[in-house]
């Protein structure tokens, strides 16, 4: 959710609400909270841009590249290694 501040700036907000009811189902109260997630959204956007940039570097390489995790499980390959091995990338 996006809210506009008094100064006109946009503010990313995570909003949650709960309704408290009595035994007959009538509304007894509402609890609502809002949290500013602007910084979190900016960091997530930056991370996505960096991932796309890194992906571009990997795919642009003329060398076959393979990445593995600490257990040596293949986590990613570039298109060059797919051509060299004649295997498809399993997403």
Considering the domain boundaries, does residue 89 fall inside one? no
In a domain, 30, yes or no: yes
Is 34 contained in some domain? yes
How does the average pLDDT of the chain come out, rounded? 92
Strand partners, 85: none
Instruction: For residue 56, tell me if it sits in a domain.
Output: yes
86 domain-assigned = no
Distance CA 33, CA 80 (A): 50
The number of distinct structural domains making up the chain is 1
Q: State the pLDDT at residue 4.
A: 87
Q: Which domain holds residue 35?
A: 2-61
Whether 91 shows a pLDDT value over 80: the answer reads no
> Does some domain include residue 18?
yes
pLDDT per position as a tens digit, 45-84: 999 999 999 989 988 999 999 999 999 999 889 999 999 9
Contact 81, 66 (CB under 8 A): yes
Above pLDDT 70, what percent of the chain? 99
Q: Which of 17, 37, 40, 41 is nearest to 29 (CA)?
A: 17
pTM of structure: 0.59
Residue 8 burial (10 A CB sphere; 0-12, 13-18, 19+): exposed
In a domain, 77, yes or no: no
Does an H or E element contain 30, and which?
strand 27-36
């Amino acid at each position: 959710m996006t809210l506009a501040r008094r100064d006109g700036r946009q503010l990313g907000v995570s909003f949650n609400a709960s309704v408290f009811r009595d035994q007959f189902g009538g509304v007894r109260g509402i609890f609502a909270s809002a949290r500013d997630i602007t910084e979190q959204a900016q960091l997530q956007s930056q991370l996505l841009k960096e991932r796309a940039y890194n992906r571009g570097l990997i795919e642009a390489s003329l060398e076959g590249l393979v990445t593995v995790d600490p257990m040596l499980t293949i986590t990613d390959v570039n298109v060059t290694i797919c051509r060299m091995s004649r295997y498809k990338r399993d997403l």
